[in-house]
Structure 1
Amino acid sequence: MDTKINRHRGQGDFPEKSSMKKFLPSHTHPNRLDSSETGQLKFAQKALSCGENDMESESSGVRRLEIIIFGTLTLFGLYLISLYNYLLMHSIGEAFIVIIAFGIFIVTWNSRKLMDNHYPLFIGLSYLFIAIVEMMHTLTCRGMGIFNRYDADLPAQLWITARYMQSFSLLIAPLFLDRRIRLNLFFGAYASATCLILLSIFLWDVFPSCLIQGVTLTPFRKISEYIICLIFLGSIVFLYQKRKEFETDVYRLLIGSIVLSIAAELAFTFDISEHGFSNLVGHYFTIISFYLIYKAMIETSLQRPYGLLFRKLKKSETSLRSIFKVAPTGIGVARDRLIQEVNEQFCKITGYSRDELVGQTARILYPTDEDYELVGKVKYRQVEEKGIGTVETRFKRKDGAIINVLLSSTPLDPTDLSVGVTFTALDITERKQAEEALRKSEVLMQRIFEASPFGICLIGKDRRIKWYNKTLTRMFGYSSGEVYGANARMLHPNDEEFKRIEEAISSLGSGKKAHDIETSCVRRDGSVFDCHIRYALINPESEESDVLAIAEDVTERKKAEEEKIRLEKELRRAQKMEAIGTLAGGIAHDFNNILAAIIGISELAQMETPEGSLLHTHLGQVLAAGLRARDLVKQILAFSRQNSEQLIPMSIHPVVKEGLKLLRSSLPTTIKINRYIKKGPELILGDPTQIHQILMNLCTNAEHAMREKGGTLDVKLERVDIDEAMAALHQHLQPGPYMRLEVSDTGKGIDPEVKDRIFDPYFTTKESWEGTGLGLAVVQGIVQTHGGAIIVESEVGKGTTFGVYFPIIEGEKEGVQEQEKVERALPTGNERILFIDDEEMLVEVGKGILEQLGYDVTVRTSSLEALELFKAKSGYFDLVITDMSMPNMTGEHLSRELMKIRPGTPIILCTGFSHVISKEKARAIGIRSFAMKPLISKDLAQTVRRVLDEKR
């Protein structure tokens, strides 16, 4: 090794020649190795292929950190295992040691013929016997169940034996830096010594004891541990004296391994228990020590020399290839028709790589045995006779192509043909290769066309189909025989469409390379479909050029586009309705406050005037107008979804009957009403007032449709069961039982052009003074709120039928009673009430109504002022009534603050929107009830009395 292990200080990546030779047996050459040596080189090369990258990565801090982390985790894992089962930890640790020791032996043994320096081989052979003793030590431990008749002294004796062998081996190993091992003598000596020691332990029982009663270390054991440490120190001294013979990192690894071995032995001297902590630490040091010797012997001391060797071989090969590379023809070297070397040009000709050819018989290049044998006879006879042989033959490329080559050969040594020949190969089939490439291209294009999802065809100047793919025949429903040679006219439904195609084709040329057109096509069965076709000239420079047509069936795509347009229209309509609803809700809210003042003051004034007086009558009319305006506001709020009343289980039959009674007096005598009401136990989840509103709106529209000529109004109420087929026709219906309210008239019907718009808000066909355009929009909103659906059927001149479907609920029959309206006197009281609203007029109205009912009322127009008052007199007020929407502090916020001051304070929230806050949330912040604006004395009186009574 040039007297040093792994030292290479030469130029570049290659050692000097004298150093290089020491890696090889004396009778070998880097380019000529016998079969056994080649096998060893392959083994070393395989190790190198993994080792070179590892060595490069280990030089970095990242690799070292990974090793440290992995090692730490491994040791920690052994510690955790020891807590569970110390024997299991011991067995795993010893298994690591045995595996590493055997690994050192295997690699050094297989690389022995490449070593000039036998230091690594001595270490490897020594560790083979150390591994055997270590394995015996592991198997004899108590609890393994193998050597049950022996006590704990047996594994201790084997352990101390292995340590003596390890220390003496490391002490002696430096002697073989400049000596060679006599393998027979070494194996005999080590095997004999190992057998004698094992016999003295197992059979003769003369080996000194190391443990007394399996617990206490004997003097021999303790003294041995110290002797072993001294031997290890001696090996360190020897290594230090020979340090120049080692690479720095190799030297450090060896020193580190020995130091850790010393530390392990010292740890075992403190061992008072075979399961003690010092025992565990000693095993840790031993494992790491073996790992470091592995690093020194395997990854460094062997891989780096192999790296130098193979880089030298690679340099030689590169030089040879560079010589061959300058030749314009394929060149190679063969011996006994085995290919020894080829140049890049030869590889290009044959399609093989150099690695695929070198070492192979020349038979690999020939398509048949006959070609191979013929060249062998003719060429070699010419070489023997003339010194050169030339023959035209065929080669089979790697890709299977057969090529024609001119092959010439000449001997390396004219006096000895067994040395080998050089040969040249000239490819003479360029034209044939071009033809083959063209054929492959045509096959490839054919496959692409056949796999295309588009119908493709070639149309001649006479408009006849000259070529087509299978997709085209499937698209149009023809067989192959029917399409070829047929006129392209048959693919179109009429002459007009085909004329458009002719115009599209005629427009090609003059710089226009392609033309796209959407047209109608016809299948063989006569069905017409939408098709997108692109036309392009095959040869734009020729007036007789064929035309390439690529057709795509776009029927489904056009349907999808139409559906997209329809959905976009529906979305815009929904957005418009939402915007209008938001606007309407805002207007209605502000209008509610105005109505609250009008209705409230009218009620107060009417209370102050005698019944029967003219003023009392006029005030009643004002109040009635205000109530009608209130109902209109409710319609607007219902449309804008800002007045969602609570739905309750109810029977719809009484509501419809009562509505028809009221309706009869308002309809002209020219309109006849027919009732078909099937009374039953069915219940729906609904709001009686809104159901009544639906009936009134539908019947009013029917009356308008029959106003001129009269007619018949049919109102039908019945149970129906919607099946899946019916539900599929109407997206808002689900299969199940429904109550259907059907209102039919014999009026003029609805024009189909406006039928889709009848539910749009503010859309009406009436005069401006006859309607607002909100009726059907409100109806639709209520129906959807009830989880139902509305279906319209109309025929111009015959009439219209509206069918309203309400889903029936089950299990809610008990406790459902029809609500009877009983007129009674307004409840009164004398409790103290704090009334808060930011509207001055509404404060006066509320105060007036409540004082008329006998209550002691304190009012505030500021929520902040009301809060301060309540803080000062928290126990004074029995009830608080507050508006929801107020500046600075909302009614909801105020309620929270009042509850903090006096929990349990009853609060009534005034609002025009019942859905602003849920009942659960309202109860949590102290709100006991809602008072809907505009305030009506009867409703307010009942709400106040109910809340106050609940308090008690």
Structure 2
Amino acid sequence: MAKESTHPVGSGWLKYFLNRDGLMLGSGMFLELLLSISALLIRSAMYSSGEAFRAFFSFISPSQLFLINSCIGFFAATLIAAGLIKLAYRLRITVNARYWVYVASGLFIVYRSFDILQSYRWQAIGTFLGTSQPVDLYISNVLLVSSCLSLLIGLVRALLDSDLANKTLESQNTVLIYQIHQLQRLEENARKNETQLTVLLNSISSPIFFTTVDGIILACNDTFVRLFGKGETDLKSRHLRDVLPFHLFLQGKNCAEEVAASGEMQFFKGKHRDRVYECTMYPVVVYSGEISHICTLALDITEKLRAEEELRLLEAAVSNTAESIMITDTEGEIKYVNPAFEIMTGYTAQETKNRPSSFLGDQSQTKVSFREMWRTLQQGQVWRGIFLNKRKDGSSYEEKATISPITDEQGCITHYVAVKRDVSQEQQMEQHLIQIQKMKNLGLLAGGIAHNLNNALTIILGRSELALELMAADEPARESIGVVIRTAQTSSKLIKQILTFAKQNSKEAEVVKVGPLLQESIKVMRSCFPTNITIHENINALNALALVDPNELQQIVVNLLENSQHALQPDGGSIDISLDLIDLEEVTPTLTGNLPSGRYLRFTVSDTGHGMDPQVAEHAFDPFYSTKDVGEGMGLGLSTVHGSVKRVGGGIRLYSSPGAGTTIEIFWPEEKMRPLKPAFAVESKPDGKGISVLVVDDLQDIVEMMVVGLKSYGFQVKIFSDSASALEFMEQDPAAIDIAVLDYMMPKMNGIELAKRLRAFKPDLPSVLLSGYRMDVSDGEAKEVGFVAILSKPILIEELARTLVRYAKTSDQEPPVV
């Protein structure tokens, strides 16, 4: 019995008229109805009350009213035509019937167009033809009737086509019902066969399944479902790609293609859930000789293959690992080494077999206690540590080892396996990092000490200079005061070396030709050496450029050659000095840090002296570390070299051993261009008359010394010991100051910040910055905040006076760093 519709009759048409297409057709029909009614009403009003009608519609003529009515009718006809065409497509009527809908729609639009013509000019066609017959009315009626007839013919044609389609469908349904009955009988027979096949398949303990050549499962046993069903109980009609793991599916697909191509059974091995199966595929051939199905039987061979698989994997892992692996017996005799061991030590497996593992060790420098190691291993525990061993070529290397005991089924130790890794480079890098951090900390300490010493020396030099000015020329004490000044200046040079080491006295580095400067420095040093020391000079890269401070370069040569001279005493020897260009192809560790790959100038100083043991070499570049006798050195030579080289991005390497001499290599990155550096003239006699100076320093002794000293040169001096007071004074009378002298390190506000604040009151105020250590201030930054000179403490009052006179009168010059 057909199911009764739950929708009311006509609900489909209601939904149609509520959508856009239905609204279009309905709106057009509704407009046509309204227009017909309005036309009748207008004609009736005109004929029944003509004068009243004309009086009421005096603003528009009757012909204009009919024209408006016709235009709206044309619009309604367009809506009806579009709605009918949309309805025809919605009902899916035949193409022939749809053509009549097109004709009817077109005729109706033409009818409405003709109506517009009639409204514009009545009897236009009749007038044109010269007849009094109502030809226009005939044409209008013919168009309207033709439109309706076309629509009716289209409807009839649609009904005829629909009836023909229904008859064709009934015929096809009859054939389909017969085929369904036939299929039902075949399905019943197949179901019986399937039941028998299922019993047979489930009696087999190994996975077995039948598939089409394309991989569709036709039948399978419970073992196959249990392994691959993932909780499902029926896998029939499923494709193997949806059931099997991807790797098994690919293997089976390739094997099935070989079966289909050859017509013979094929084998492959597959793994699933840690079980290995040997799969055999049998072709199932029908009477025509074609392969219709494939039967696959999988036998579990896991236990058979597990042992040899584990051995194969173990052998491959041990042979291909980058770690050195060594197996010994309980007595420590080597039984096996892998290829990585041969690469690391230089010994072949045959050369090490049955030899004690201790033959590799450097017994004089070993870092482990073998007794403790054996105690740990014999207790069945894992031991970890570092060995210092020797390769076959005699070179030493450090290896990090992990040694584990191997036990049998009873828990007895039968062998030991050692996994080792060469950590020589890692150890060197670690030592370099420790050394760099230590040098950094010592540099900070040295910088702080030097800052305080410079302040003290400033007072000593300033007061001594003032004392000399006040003394008569024949005063006996003048000599003593001169000794104080010279001693203070010598101490100042020492402090500058400390500041260079601490990276706080950043001198002016420039791009120069290193070779000629080295030759000049070596030439000067030759005359200072005793005759039992020979200097061999090999300066090759004469035109190579590097970023260095020429003064620091000279100091580097002096310090290195003095150290070599000391190492050659008293017997003498030779010193080899060379300069060449080299290419570093990889990152190179040095005492100043890692050097990136690139092209470098290498300056080498090598002597044949007594050399250094590892403990001395480790501290050679530490400040204040010296092996010389008391009074012969302060231990700042090599530390100064370290600071100078590191500051310009260079590197240092040290090679030394007792009795074999010492070699020091210095690397500077090669530069490709030389900048020009401007020079300026310095006045010889300072005269501060008429110049007003603002002095700000938090140390009262320095302020008072500067007041007395600068006044002696004719300056007018205004002093302050704090920044706030100086700012308050400048705010009240900025024109009273011509130039300012500012200390860098002051509480609450440093000299740079104070200079910025001062320029807010006097934008063109030049300033001179004083500091006990060097700040990281570039020339551009100095000029921006008004600094015309940066002077390092201690400084002579005369030098400060020259600077003030120069820039107070010519404050538009470039600000060099003094």
Q: TM-score, normalised by structure 1?
A: 0.50
Which residue does 1:569 correspond to in 2?
431
Cα pair 1:134 1:162 within 8 Å, conserved:
no
Q: Please say which of residues 784-793 and 342-351 is displaced more in the overlay.
A: 342-351
How many residues in Structure 1 have an aligned counterpart in Structure 2? 574
Which residue does 2:355 correspond to in 1?
494
**CA 1:333 to 1:518, structure 2 compared with 1: closer, same or farther past 3 Å?**
farther
| SS in structure 2 of the partner of residue 771 of structure 1 | coil
Which residue does 2:224 correspond to in 1?
351
Which residue does 2:82 correspond to in 1?
159
Q: Which amino acid aligns with 1:559?
A: D
User: For each residue in 1:703-722, what CA deviation from the matched residue of structure 2 results, as whole angstroms up to 9, or x when unmatched?
Assistant: 4334544x467585x75222
User: For each residue in 1:154-207, what CA deviation from the matched residue of structure 2 results, as whole angstroms up to 9, or x when unmatched?
Assistant: 97445322676899x9xxxxxxxxxxxxxxxxxxxx848x96564043379544
Cα pair 1:134 1:158 within 8 Å, conserved:
no
Of 706, 730, 742, 1:846 maps to 706
Q: Please say which of residues 865-874 and 668-677 is displaced more in the overlay.
A: 668-677
1:924 has 2:751 as partner: no
| SS in structure 2 of the partner of residue 857 of structure 1 | strand
Of 448, 466, 471, 1:586 maps to 448
Which residue does 2:810 correspond to in 1?
950
Which residue does 1:117 correspond to in 2?
4
TM alignment of 1:793-872, pairs within 5 A = 796=658, 800=662, 802-807=664-669, 809-812=671-674, 824-826=684-686, 828-872=688-732
TM alignment of 1:674-689, pairs within 5 A = 683-689=545-551
Q: Which amino acid aligns with 1:910?
A: L
| SS in structure 1 of the partner of residue 235 of structure 2 | helix
Cα pair 2:88 2:101 within 8 Å, conserved:
no
The Cα of 1:639 is off from its aligned counterpart by 1.0
| SS in structure 2 of the partner of residue 704 of structure 1 | helix
1:886 has 2:787 as partner: no
Cα pair 1:156 1:211 within 8 Å, conserved:
no
| SS in structure 2 of the partner of residue 594 of structure 1 | helix
Return the alpha-carbon distance in structure 2 between the equivalents of residues 808 and 506 of structure 1.
Answer: 54
Identical residues among aligned pairs (%): 24
| SS in structure 1 of the partner of residue 769 of structure 2 | strand
User: For each residue in 1:690-746, what CA deviation from the matched residue of structure 2 results, as whole angstroms up to 9, or x when unmatched?
Assistant: 22322332233234334544x467585x75222457997976486546374x55656
Cα pair 2:450 2:773 within 8 Å, conserved:
no
Which residue does 1:104 correspond to in 2?
none
Which residue does 2:465 correspond to in 1?
603
Which residue does 1:720 correspond to in 2?
580
TM alignment of 1:292-441, pairs within 5 A = 335-339=191-195, 349-352=222-225, 354-356=233-235, 439-441=301-303
Cα pair 1:843 1:859 within 8 Å, conserved:
yes
The Cα of 1:604 is off from its aligned counterpart by 1.6
The Cα of 1:939 is off from its aligned counterpart by 3.1
Cα pair 1:675 1:715 within 8 Å, conserved:
yes
Return the alpha-carbon distance in structure 2 between the equivalents of residues 506 and 700 of structure 1.
Answer: 52
Q: Please say which of residues 336-345 and 586-595 is displaced more in the overlay.
A: 336-345
Return the alpha-carbon distance in structure 1 between the equivalents of residues 495 and 552 of structure 2.
Answer: 13
1:540 has 2:410 as partner: yes
Return the alpha-carbon distance in structure 2 between the equivalents of residues 933 and 446 of structure 1.
Answer: 81
TM alignment of 1:387-786, pairs within 5 A = 439-444=301-306, 446-452=308-314, 454-455=317-318, 492-494=353-355, 534=404, 536-537=406-407, 539-540=409-410, 554-555=419-420, 558-560=421-423, 562-611=424-473, 613-650=475-512, 683-709=545-571, 711=572, 720-724=580-584, 732=595, 736=599, 738=601, 740=603, 747-751=609-613, 753-786=615-648
User: For each residue in 1:4-49, what CA deviation from the matched residue of structure 2 results, as whole angstroms up to 9, or x when unmatched?
Assistant: xxxxxxxxxxxxxxxxxxxxxx5xxxxxxxxxxxxxxxxxxxxxxx
Cα pair 2:651 2:667 within 8 Å, conserved:
yes
The Cα of 1:749 is off from its aligned counterpart by 3.7
Which residue does 2:102 correspond to in 1?
201
| SS in structure 1 of the partner of residue 776 of structure 2 | coil
| SS in structure 2 of the partner of residue 568 of structure 1 | helix
Return the alpha-carbon distance in structure 1 between the equivalents of residues 352 and 11 of structure 2.
Answer: 85
The Cα of 1:832 is off from its aligned counterpart by 0.7
**CA 1:202 to 1:571, structure 2 compared with 1: closer, same or farther past 3 Å?**
same
| SS in structure 1 of the partner of residue 619 of structure 2 | coil
User: For each residue in 1:121-179, what CA deviation from the matched residue of structure 2 results, as whole angstroms up to 9, or x when unmatched?
Assistant: 9999989999xx989x9xxxxxxxxxxxxx99997445322676899x9xxxxxxxxxx
Q: Which amino acid aligns with 2:774?
A: S
The Cα of 1:804 is off from its aligned counterpart by 4.2
Q: Please say which of residues 728-737 and 629-638 is displaced more in the overlay.
A: 728-737
Which residue does 1:63 correspond to in 2?
none
The Cα of 1:559 is off from its aligned counterpart by 0.7
Cα pair 1:906 1:951 within 8 Å, conserved:
yes
The Cα of 1:632 is off from its aligned counterpart by 1.2
| SS in structure 1 of the partner of residue 562 of structure 2 | helix
**CA 1:748 to 1:896, structure 2 compared with 1: closer, same or farther past 3 Å?**
same
Cα pair 2:462 2:796 within 8 Å, conserved:
yes
TM alignment of 1:120-269, pairs within 5 A = 156-161=79-84, 191=93, 196=97, 198-202=99-103, 205-207=106-108
Return the alpha-carbon distance in structure 2 between the equivalents of residues 358 and 737 of structure 1.
Answer: 74
Cα pair 2:432 2:589 within 8 Å, conserved:
no
The Cα of 1:799 is off from its aligned counterpart by 5.1
The Cα of 1:834 is off from its aligned counterpart by 0.7
Q: Which amino acid aligns with 2:438?
A: K
**CA 1:843 to 1:196, structure 2 compared with 1: closer, same or farther past 3 Å?**
same
Return the alpha-carbon distance in structure 1 between the equivalents of residues 80 and 377 of structure 2.
Answer: 103
Structure 1, unaligned runs of 5 or more: 1-25, 27-114, 138-150, 170-189, 219-331, 361-398, 403-431, 457-461, 478-487
Return the alpha-carbon distance in structure 2 between the equivalents of residues 622 and 878 of structure 1.
Answer: 33
User: For each residue in 1:542-568, what CA deviation from the matched residue of structure 2 results, as whole angstroms up to 9, or x when unmatched?
Assistant: x9xxx897957x34xx213x4333332
The Cα of 1:617 is off from its aligned counterpart by 1.4
1:875 has 2:755 as partner: no
**CA 1:454 to 1:618, structure 2 compared with 1: closer, same or farther past 3 Å?**
same
**CA 1:686 to 1:835, structure 2 compared with 1: closer, same or farther past 3 Å?**
same
| SS in structure 2 of the partner of residue 760 of structure 1 | coil
**CA 1:450 to 1:851, structure 2 compared with 1: closer, same or farther past 3 Å?**
same
| SS in structure 2 of the partner of residue 443 of structure 1 | helix
1:900 has 2:772 as partner: no
| SS in structure 1 of the partner of residue 810 of structure 2 | helix
Return the alpha-carbon distance in structure 1 between the equivalents of residues 234 and 279 of structure 2.
Answer: 20
| SS in structure 2 of the partner of residue 776 of structure 1 | helix
**CA 1:163 to 1:591, structure 2 compared with 1: closer, same or farther past 3 Å?**
same
Return the alpha-carbon distance in structure 2 between the equivalents of residues 885 and 204 of structure 1.
Answer: 99
Cα pair 2:81 2:105 within 8 Å, conserved:
no
Cα pair 1:639 1:781 within 8 Å, conserved:
yes
| SS in structure 1 of the partner of residue 774 of structure 2 | coil
Structure 2, unaligned runs of 5 or more: 25-73, 120-187, 204-219, 226-231, 240-276, 281-296, 320-328, 343-348, 360-369, 813-818
RMSD of equivalent CA atoms: 5.7
Cα pair 1:153 1:209 within 8 Å, conserved:
no
Cα pair 1:535 1:549 within 8 Å, conserved:
yes
| SS in structure 2 of the partner of residue 929 of structure 1 | strand
